[in-house]
């Protein structure tokens, strides 16, 4: 009997939140996981947090910088799947007159340019039937005041995935679109009001609760492993688009 080869997965932005939960899920499945992120300290904390399920490899890299992305793939080598959950949205949730353009550019760089560079330099490293999964979000479908930049970038990222699914075939390219998920990013969005806002949204959603990081991890794992899904946005929003 031929022994199954260990699956190799690169997660950009996997040092916290949804990416960290995905790393835990995949390690428990027996995959070899590499987490890439900008902060060596956060990567070290992620590795310690995952020590009970496996030995994750970490590489410090800024996916918005092409030289860093090239070096990242030189270090991690060939992979079966690439996932990006990275997002730098600090300071971007502002009404248009108060919007800091530099903060807006950070959103574009982290959520659009970064994934584009991962696809550009990662596709040659991917298995023929491998996959790329990006992370957009509910703002593209239920935009709100102060959220114009994030809404716009999420929508652009999904259109990018559609085009890359055609260009990079048979590599599969998909997007997971989370709703409101209880992750540390909410401290940047709402600060001290984060808990109250999450609880209020839970009462509105058809499922009666806010998302958990493991909910998104399960969705990404589905997109990685279902070989008949490409150019698709998987909505994991608890019914938020309906209310």
Q: How many domains does the chain have?
A: 1
pLDDT above 60 (res 139): yes
Residues 210 and 182: beta-carbon distance below 8 Å: yes
Q: What pLDDT was estimated at residue 108?
A: 98
Q: What is the mean pLDDT of residues 198-203?
A: 93
Q: What is the mean pLDDT of residues 190-204?
A: 86
- As a whole-number percent, the residues of the chain with pLDDT over 90 amount to 88
Question: Which residue spans within 21-89 are E strands per DSSP?
Answer: 32-37, 57-60, 79-84
Q: What is the mean pLDDT of residues 137-150?
A: 94
Query: Pick from 6, 15, 65, 21: which is nearest to 176 by CA?
Result: 21
Q: Catalytic site residue 16?
A: no
How far is residue 92's CA from residue 146's CA, in Å, rounded to a whole number? 8
Q: What is the mean pLDDT of residues 98-126?
A: 97
- Residue 83: CATH number of its domain: 3.40.50.720
Q: What pLDDT was estimated at residue 185?
A: 72
pLDDT above 60 (res 95): yes
Q: Is residue 1 part of a domain?
A: no
Q: What pLDDT was estimated at residue 183?
A: 84
Q: Is residue 138 part of a domain?
A: yes
pLDDT above 60 (res 41): yes
Q: What pLDDT was estimated at residue 188?
A: 61
Residue 143 CB coordination number (10 Å): 15
Q: Is residue 57 part of a domain?
A: yes
Alpha-carbon 147 to chain mean position: 18
How far is residue 211's CA from residue 205's CA, in Å, rounded to a whole number? 10
Q: What pLDDT was estimated at residue 187?
A: 65
Q: What is the mean pLDDT of residues 133-160?
A: 96
Q: What pLDDT was estimated at residue 2?
A: 47
pLDDT above 60 (res 1): no
Q: What is the mean pLDDT of residues 224-239?
A: 98
pLDDT tens digits, 161-193? 999 999 999 999 999 999 999 987 776 666 678
Q: Is residue 3 part of a domain?
A: no
pLDDT above 70 (res 3): no
Residues 117 and 164: beta-carbon distance below 8 Å: no
Judging by DSSP bridges, how do beta strands 57-60 and 79-84 pair with one another?
Answer: unpaired
Binned at pLDDT 50, 70 and 90, residue 196 comes out as confident
Q: Is residue 88 part of a domain?
A: yes
Domain membership of residue 188 as a residue range: 8-242
pLDDT above 70 (res 4): no
Q: Is residue 2 part of a domain?
A: no
* Catalytic entry in 15, 21, 110, 136: 136
Q: Is residue 76 part of a domain?
A: yes
- Give the residues across from 12 on adjacent strands: 36, 84
Name the DSSP letter for residue 52.
T
How far is residue 79's CA from residue 72's CA, in Å, rounded to a whole number? 12
How far is residue 164's CA from residue 205's CA, in Å, rounded to a whole number? 32
Q: What is the mean pLDDT of residues 75-103?
A: 95
Report pTM.
0.94
Average pLDDT of the chain is 94
Name the DSSP letter for residue 211.
B
Q: Is residue 226 part of a domain?
A: yes
């Amino acid at each position: 009997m031929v022994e199954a080869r260990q699956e190799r997965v690169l997660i950009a932005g996997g040092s916290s939140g949804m990416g960290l939960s995905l790393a835990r899920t995949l390690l428990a499945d027996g995959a070899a996981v590499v987490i890439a992120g900008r902060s060596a300290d956060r990567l070290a904390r992620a590795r310690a947090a995952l020590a009970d399920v496996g030995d994750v490899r970490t590489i410090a890299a800024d996916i918005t910088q092409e030289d860093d992305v090239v070096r990242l793939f030189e270090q991690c080598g060939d992979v079966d799947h690439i996932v990006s959950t990275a997002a730098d949205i600090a300071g971007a949730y502002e009404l248009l007159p108060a919007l800091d353009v530099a903060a807006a550019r950070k959103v574009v760089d982290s959520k659009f340019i970064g994934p584009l560079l991962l696809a550009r330099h990662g596709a040659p490293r991917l298995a023929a039937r491998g996959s790329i999964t990006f992370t957009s979000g509910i703002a593209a479908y239920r935009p709100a005041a102060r959220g114009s930049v994030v809404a716009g970038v999420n929508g652009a990222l999904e259109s990018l995935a559609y085009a890359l699914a055609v260009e990079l075939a048979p590599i599969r390219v998909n997007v997971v679109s989370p709703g409101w998920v209880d992750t540390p990013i909410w401290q940047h969005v709402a600060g001290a009001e984060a808990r109250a806002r999450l609880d209020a949204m839970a009462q509105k959603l058809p499922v009666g609760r806010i998302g958990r990081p493991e909910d998104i991890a399960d969705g990404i794992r589905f997109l990685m492993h279902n070989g008949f899904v490409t150019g698709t946005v998987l909505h994991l929003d608890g019914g938020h688009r309906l209310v």
